[in-house]
Structure 1
């Protein structure tokens, strides 16, 4: 089962490694991890997407809560949240496919950020379904390279 965990952590060396080690200890696969400073430069928000049973996720979240650098931890699978991911995709292009590709970019509201003689690079920001949808549609054209940020997320509402 896919889960999204959001943690506020103190900025100090090694916290990302210690956090991911807790997942390794419980043999839980991390599918995405992102971390960056919040409005407070001493605090970062780490968002981890992982696949594991409810029991395994509960064990790893308890381990994380016991770590002295964790300020707050939320299992977003149990709450409504807003998520986004950024992807850059470089895809093969020729004069025959250019028009069709531009229509695809327009439908997905993706931005062209670079062009070469044989490739076009596009960026898209959106939820994971939208990102996955664009990737799936572009695969037949020939994706040359791709880079994804991983999911970032916040709880909805006033919390």
Structure 2
């Protein structure tokens, strides 16, 4: 069974590119959203295994969305991975305080990277290389260093 993914980003071009990339890598993209309201609705309707949330959603905030999903119990049945075009170090404290299981820089998004983050978070069984100092968190640099 394919991993089911919801992508939340305010950039339509990125949504299209990420969807195509992930689907080619065997991940079923069950929905895309560009606002918190759409993301909350689709998370309930589509029941994805993982949701990729852009930290910056235009006037909205991806961290707020991750917290809202956690408050309604979503993160008990599905994982959240935060994404951004910016480096993880720019948001390290906020990422660590969030309910997300990991972070990926947008250029590093791939089916393999998502599966590795979920594996380290305990939602799938996979082999990975180095992990971040906090074993419950993974950042894109860790995924880049893992063996192929």
With the shorter chain as reference, the TM-score category is: under 0.3
Compare CA radii of gyration and give the structure with the larger one.
Answer: 1
Bigger helix share: 2
Q: TM-score, normalised by structure 1?
A: 0.25
Q: TM-score, normalised by structure 2?
A: 0.26
Tell me: higher relative CO, structure 1 or 2? Use CA pairs within 8 A at least 6 residues apart.
Answer: 1
